[in-house]
Amino acid sequence: MDIRPVRPRTPKVPTPPVVSPIPAIPSTPIVSVDVPAPLPIDITPAGLDARKKRNTKKIILFSLIGLAVLIIAFVAATFIWYKTELSPVDSKRTDLVKVTIDPGTSPKAIGELLKGKGVIRNTTAYTIYTRLEKVQNSLQAGTYRLSPAESTPEIVKHLTNGTVDTFKITFLPGATLAENRKVLLDAGYTTTEVDTALNATYDSPLFDTKPASADLEGYIYGETYNFSAGVAVQDILARTFGEYAQVIKDNDLIAKFQSHGLTLFQGITLASIVQREATKGSEAQIAQVFYLRLAENMPLGSDVTYQYIADKTGVARDPNLDSPYNTRRYTGLPPGPISTPGIGSLEAVATPAVGDYLYFLSGDDNVTYYAHTLSEHEANIAAHCKVKCSTL
């Protein structure tokens, strides 16, 4: 047996594959960036306290700013409220309110009275104003005619003027007694005060020929008058009667009316119709028409007379209304005046124009057209009075 030593075999190493060479990548210059080093977090007790202090300061600052804004807003709102509450209750009101302040009335009670009467908006604003103006103790007792169209400062000015305070009343020419009654009510007088005065008896030569049964229609002379605040209604009326009597005297109207066969009462009655019929400047010629109709015993034919009594008695306006005031149906003058005539109408009746017209009408253009005959009058109606003459 052949025993030979065995040689260890060398392991066969595989041949590596041939790899193509990788192309070289061109080098790019590297840009260095300075990155700031991170700040260390201060976690020490001292660092935390500093942050809390900064936050607290911010909170305090914002709180103060917010408080300041609120204060400014409050002040602005208060100012607007104050100015609003001092403004007039109703700037469009034209009537006056009678306010009587008794001696010894406290400033607070005066404010409450004014508020209750509806002439101021707010008692607090009123009190603040009187204190700021230092007039709380200057408000005087008395009777006042105050307007809701006035502001609180204007009202206070009236009260500091006291009894020397005055007001105006205007009665218009051509106004009826009912319209003049409303003027007095609007001046702040009560219904009882006004009606009592209108039904009272007055001593004046103005009423010498007025029938006792006639009211004051036609006698409250149209003018603007100034009165002290506490004046009574009867004193107001007496003043108008005095003014009227003086106008009649200055123009010698009684004698002139008598020359046409009229008393003062009748002259005023005819003038009141002329007043309601005429446009400015036509009074004297219209008076001529009426005088000629009276002379020929013709009805005056005035629409304003039946319209007056219809309105006064609350019935419909009807040309056929059965009333002595209806001068379409009844001849002569109506029982009394239908308004208060102005000086122009009074003088027209005292001195009428020359002419022989029997008819007149006020056209749609507010021009007065005259005619001698009925046919001429009807032609004027067709040509100039299509609207006005179609209404009652």
Do residues 229 and 167 make contact, with C-beta atoms less than 8 angstroms apart? yes
Question: 76-99: per-residue pLDDT in tens?
Answer: 888 899 889 999 999 888 888 889
Please tell me the distance from the alpha carbon of residue 154 to that of residue 244, in angstroms, as a whole number. Answer: 34
Q: Look at residue 97 and give its three-state secondary structure.
A: strand
Q: Rounded mean pLDDT of 165-182?
A: 93
To the nearest whole percent, how much of the chain has pLDDT over 70?
86
Compute the CA torsion angle 197, 254, 205, 187 (nearest 10 deg). Answer: 20
Q: Which residues have CB under 8 Å from 306's CB, separation 6+?
A: 317, 318, 319, 321, 323, 325, 326, 327, 328
Across all residues in the chain, what is the average pLDDT?
A: 87
Q: Look at residue 15 and give its three-state secondary structure.
A: coil
Per-residue burial over 350-374, b = 16 or more CB atoms within 10 Å of its CB, e = otherwise: bebeeeebbbbbbbeeeebbbbeee
Q: Rounded mean pLDDT of 229-233?
A: 88
Please tell me the distance from the alpha carbon of residue 376 to that of residue 228, in angstroms, as a whole number. Answer: 55
Q: Is the pLDDT score of 18 beyond 80?
A: no
To the nearest whole percent, how much of the chain has pLDDT over 90?
64
Cross-strand partners of 167:
227
Question: 302-360: per-residue pLDDT in tens?
Answer: 999 999 999 999 999 999 999 999 999 999 999 999 999 999 999 999 999 999 999 99
Residue type, 271: A
Long-range CB contacts (within 8 A, 24+) of 134-137: 135/160, 136/107, 137/107
Q: Rounded mean pLDDT of 197-219?
A: 95
Residue type, 161: N
Cβ burial, residue 383 (10 Å; 0-12/13-18/19+): exposed
Residue 55 pLDDT grade (very low, low, confident, very high; cuts 50, 70, 90)? confident
Residue 50 pLDDT grade (very low, low, confident, very high; cuts 50, 70, 90)? low
Instruction: Say which residue, 150 or 19, is predicted with more confidence.
Output: 150
Q: Rounded mean pLDDT of 38-67?
A: 71
Q: Which range, 34-48, 159-173, 350-364, has the best average confidence (pLDDT)?
A: 350-364
pLDDT, residue 1, reads 45
Do residues 377 and 357 make contact, with C-beta atoms less than 8 angstroms apart? no
Question: 120-141: per-residue pLDDT in tens?
Answer: 999 999 999 999 999 988 898 8
Least confident of 15-24, 191-200, 232-241: 15-24
Do residues 302 and 338 make contact, with C-beta atoms less than 8 angstroms apart? no
Does this model's pTM top 0.85? My answer is no
Q: Is the pLDDT score of 17 beyond 60?
A: no
* Helix (H) or strand (E) run with residue 226 in it: strand 223-228
Domains and CATH numbers, the chain: 97-161 (3.30.1490.480), 167-250 (no CATH), 261-390 (no CATH)
